[in-house]
Copies of this chain bind each other. A is one copy, B any other.
Amino acid sequence: MSDKRIVELERKIRELRTFSEDGIDLSAEIEKLEAKLQTLKEQLPPVPAPTTPDEWDQVKLARNPKRPYTLDFIRLMMDDFYELHGDQMYADDAAIVVGLALFEGETVVVVGHQKGRDVTENIRRNFGMAHPEGYRKALRALKLAERFGFPVISLIDTPAAYPGTGAEERNIGGAIAQNIYEMFKLRVPIVIAITGEGGSGGALGLGVGDRVLMLEHAIYSVIPPEGCAAILFRDASKAPEAARAMKVTAPTLLELKVIDEIIPEPGEGAHTDHETTAANLKEAIRRHLKALERIPLEKLLEQRAKKFQAMGVFEELEETHARE
**Interface residues in chain A, defined as those with a beta carbon under 8 Å from any beta carbon in chain B:** 88-90, 132, 136, 170-171, 174-175
Contacts and interface: CB of A to CB of B under 8 A. Distances in A.
How many identical subunits does the complex contain? 2
A191 B3 CA distance: 69
Nearest to A175: B89
A171 B132 contact: no
Contact of A171 (B88, B136, B174, B175): B88
B132 A174 contact: no
Contact of A170 (B89, B171, B174, B175): B89
A136 B174 CA distance: 15
A162 to B, nearest CB: 16
Contacts of A132: 89
Contacts of A88: 171, 174
A89 B170 CA distance: 5
10 contacts: A89-B89, A89-B90, A89-B132, A89-B136, A89-B170, A89-B171, A89-B174, A89-B175, A90-B90, A90-B170
A175 B136 CA distance: 14
A90 B175 CA distance: 11
A132 B175 CA distance: 18
Query: Of A88, A174, A175, which is in contact with the most chain B CB atoms at under 10 Å from its CB?
Result: A88
A88 B135 CA distance: 14
A217 B271 CA distance: 72
Nearest to A174: B88
Contacts of A136: 89
A175 B88 CA distance: 9
Nearest to A90: B170
Contacts of A170: 89-90
A65 to B, nearest CB: 33
Contacts of A174: 88-89
A113 to B, nearest CB: 21
A136 B171 CA distance: 15
A288 B46 CA distance: 85
